[in-house]
Amino acid sequence: MAFDVQAVRAEFPILLRHVHGKPLVYLDSAASAQKPRAVIEAMTRAMEHSYANVHRGLHTLANETTDAYEGARSKIAGFIGADPHEIVFTKGGTEAVNLVASGIGASLQPGDEIVLSEMEHHANIVPWHFLRERKGVVLKWVPVTDDGRLDLEAYQDLLGPKTRLVALSHMSNVLGTINDAKALARMAHEAGALVLFDGCQAIVHKPVDVKDIDADFYVFSGHKLYGPTGIGILYGKAERLAALPPYQGGGEMIATVTRDEITYADPPHRFEAGTPPILEAIGLGAAVDWLAAQDREAIAAHEHRLYARVRDRLAGANWLKVIGEAPGKGAILSFTVDGAHAHDVAQILDRYGVAVRAGTHCAEPLMRRFGVSSSARASFALYNTEDEADAFVDALTKTQAFFA
């Protein structure tokens, strides 16, 4: 059955908007995706009909809200092939990485090594720099090839007896490169290291089975997955979570508190101090339900058709430099225009109703790797159309004329 993009678009109210008198062409989903009615309505329904704090009361509303909150945990676990007790709610993918870094950092010694790559988002760089600054940990960097792939030979050479953790992107937010997570995890484990994957982009565009990958930790955010902001997920193998000390202190994460000592709750609640993002978790559960009901293979094919259409139409544009052309990459186009700053390109495209990202995309080491200070990025999602792909190319061609 053909992918019905118009039926999908009808579920996203914001896509009816006009910007500067032009129909909105939203190509910034890699930064944050729009929300379907299913998510909007689930959160509204929770606020209007059944809201209270979770785990705290025995009254009807508290029980209903707790069931919805923990039900969302179970939905998300099923979505990635995990068990519910292996799912920790955080405020985003960034906090999920920080939680792991804080916990693992407690046991690291000076000279211990963490392997990253040049394509990482700052969220998967800065927390490990904290450990470099505060614990004397050594950061090792996997280089990126000219077409945007990880150099696997270099990766293998970086793994050694001092490697404690490998933290890598499953899919690059700039290049669109999709890394072979299963192979990367196998190589890390053979070296005796744990592995964490930043799945914030990959989870949106392809099915993820954390058990099949054999990830020790896998993190992603809700707002890129057609869910709300303020919610993220840390998956951790049960034994890995059990070995981590608490990240924050407060209510819910304890078993007992006395004047002389405290004992901690078991994971995942050990890592969810205070009132959690209840409505956001419910919204993310609705997003996962909505996306799971779609044909993921058809979505991926649709997104790749849009990317290929744009690339074909821009094939002769000698004023355009594309960053990242790895085989099998996702539908993300990062580029520079000769003689133009990326911010100017994005602002002019906006006048045509086209929304793209511009800047370093929180990936400064990668920008330096490719010799640019910034780039523009068009990212395609399931609700984009061929007409929008054409509108982007037409607007970009007109934009380039300003700088010719």
What residues act catalytically? Answer: 362
User: Helix or strand or coil: residue 292?
Assistant: helix
Task: Kindly give the pairing relationship between strand 163-169 and strand 138-142.
Answer: unpaired
Q: How far is CA 141 from CA 59, 126, 144, 157, in A?
A: 53, 13, 9, 11
Instruction: Provide Rg for the chain, Cα atoms.
Output: 22
Contact between 212 and 182 under an 8 Å Cβ cutoff? The reply is yes
Phi, psi of 213 (to 5 degrees): -65, -30
d(CA 367, CA 204): 23
For 160, list phi and psi in degrees, rounded to 5. -155, -170
H-only helix segments in 81-151: 93-105, 126-135
SS3 28: strand
> At residue 84, what is the residue type?
P
Question: In this structure, are strands 262-264 and 138-142 parallel, antiparallel, or unpaired?
Answer: unpaired
Q: How do the residues of the chain divide into helix, strand and coil, expressed in percent and rounded to 5?
A: 45, 20, 40
Q: How many CA atoms lie within 13 A of 58 on its CB side?
A: 0
Q: Are 203 and 126 in contact (CB under 8 A)?
A: no
CA nearest neighbour of 65 among 254, 287, 280, 292: 280
Cβ-contact 238, 267 below 8 angstroms: yes
Select from 164, 156, 122 the least CA-distant residue to 139.
164
Burial (Cβ within 10 Å: 0-12, 13-18, ≥19) of residue 76 = buried
Residue 350: helix, strand or coil by DSSP?
helix
22, 132, 395, 90: which is closest to 270 by C-alpha? 90
